[in-house]
Amino acid sequence: MSENHMEVAVYQTAKHGNDCSGDSYFYIETDDGFICALADGLGSGELAKASSETVIQVVQKKIDEPLDSLIDLCNEALSGKNMRGCVLSILRIDYQHCRYSYASIGNIGVVVVNEDGSKKRNIPNPGYLSGIKRDVNIHRGALEDGAVFFMFSDGVNERQLTKEFYSQKSMQSTINWFTLQQQKNSHDDTTLIAMKYHA
pLDDT score at 2: 46
Percent of the chain with pLDDT over 70: 96
pLDDT score at 185: 53
pLDDT score at 34: 98
For residue 14, what are the CA distances in angstroms to 49, 88, 155, 166, 197?
11, 17, 9, 24, 28
More confident residue, 80 or 136: 136
Give the pTM. Answer: 0.94
pLDDT score at 186: 66
1 pLDDT higher than 80: no
The CATH H-level (homologous superfamily) assignment of domain 6-197 is PPM-type phosphatase domain (3.60.40.10)
Q: Give the start-to-end residue ranges of the domains of the chain.
A: 6-197
pLDDT digits (tens, 9 = 90+) for 153-191: 988 877 778 888 888 889 999 999 998 887 655 678 899
- Sheet with 99-105: list strands edge to edge: 23-29, 33-41, 86-94, 99-105, 139-142
Contact 76, 59 (CB under 8 A): no
Distance from C-alpha of 84 to C-alpha of 28, rounded to nearest angstrom: 27
Q: Among 57-61, 65-69, 76-80, 148-152, whose mean pLDDT is lowest?
A: 76-80
Instruction: With residue 195 as reference, give the H or E element that holds it.
Output: strand 190-197
20 pLDDT higher than 70: yes
